[in-house]
Structure 1
Amino acid sequence: MQQPSPEPTPIILAVDDLRALPRATRLARTSREGVQLLEEHRGMFIDELWLDHDLGGDDSIMPVVTLLEEAAFHGYPFQIGIVYVHSANPIGAETVVRSLSHWKYHVRRAVAQ
């Protein structure tokens, strides 16, 4: 009798400068690392993407958002099940939600822990 194949591990990516986010399979701490992380997963299905707006100092999530927008604009959006925006910055979080929703990404606002 053949054993059923194990379920594949979900890909859960996160970009956050402070939070641990223990469910994340990969974690980036800066926007630059976030862009690299997404580029490494281009063409793969990403189950969840967690985004924090403020990433310390002058850094923000906007370079990551721009990458996602440009991919969608060119007709090759990243394949993401759901994007969670969990920033403590309500205006920044709303900007991210509005921008990504415009490009048909499935986005939800989550409470920052």
Structure 2
Amino acid sequence: MNERSGARPPIVLGIDDLRSLPMATRIARTSHEGVLLLEEHRDLEIDELWLDHDLGGDDSIMPVVALLEEAAFDGRPFRIGMIYVHSANPSGAETMVRVLTRWDYRVRRATA
């Protein structure tokens, strides 16, 4: 991209405890880090958000999903081009897709 064109580099965020996600510009490894990462990008347009359900031990993505859900409920959804769910947990992934789709986020199941 031409720097003088005013185009910004894409913002691709990932929340995953294990995967390297080479396409991500920033990665959070826990749900707590994920919430902080999203809050840091609250007023920016996020091009892609990659989410894993199981984040090690008893941690899961659900606090992040709750943040996204609450923001949409309050009428200020995060501006995210596409959310990719890449979890190996089928029921967790389905829950994520269902909840986020309900709040009009664009969501796809994907492999990472």
Shorter-chain TM-score range: over 0.9
Matches within 5 A, 1:31-110: 31-110=31-110
1:80 CA displacement: 0.2
CA-CA distance at 1:67 after TM superposition? 0.1
Runs of 4+ in 1 over 3 A off after TM superposition: none
Aligned equivalents of 1:70 and 1:107: distance in 2?
Answer: 17
Aligned-residue CA RMSD (Å): 1.2
Q: Within 1, Cα distance between the matches of 2:6 and 2:45?
A: 17
CA distance in 2, matches of 1:6, 1:104: 29
Shift of 1:5: 1.9
Q: Alignment partner of 2:35: what SS?
A: helix
Please state how far the C-alpha of 1:43 moved relative to its aligned partner. Answer: 1.3
**C-alpha separation in 2, matches of 1:18 and 1:83:** 18
TM norm structure 1: 0.94
Please state how far the C-alpha of 1:4 moved relative to its aligned partner: 4.2
In the comparison of the two structures, how many residue pairs are matched? 110
Unpaired runs of at least 5, structure 2? none
Q: Once the two structures are superposed, what CA deviation does each residue of 1:21-79 show, in whole Å capped at 9, x if it has no partner?
A: 01100000000000000000001100000000000000000000000000000000000
Q: Please give the alpha-carbon distance, in whole angstroms, between the structure 2 residues aligned to 1:35 and 1:6.
A: 29
Greater CA radius of gyration, 1 or 2? 1
Specify the code of the residue in structure 2 equivalent to 1:93.
A
Counterpart-to-counterpart distance in 1, 2:7 and 2:75: 30
SS in 2 for 1:76: coil
Question: How far off its partner does 1:7 sit?
Answer: 3.0
Aligned 1:10-49 pairs, distance under 5 A: 10-49=10-49
The percentage of counterpart residues that share the same residue type is: 71
User: If the length of structure 2 is used for normalisation, what is the TM-score?
Assistant: 0.95
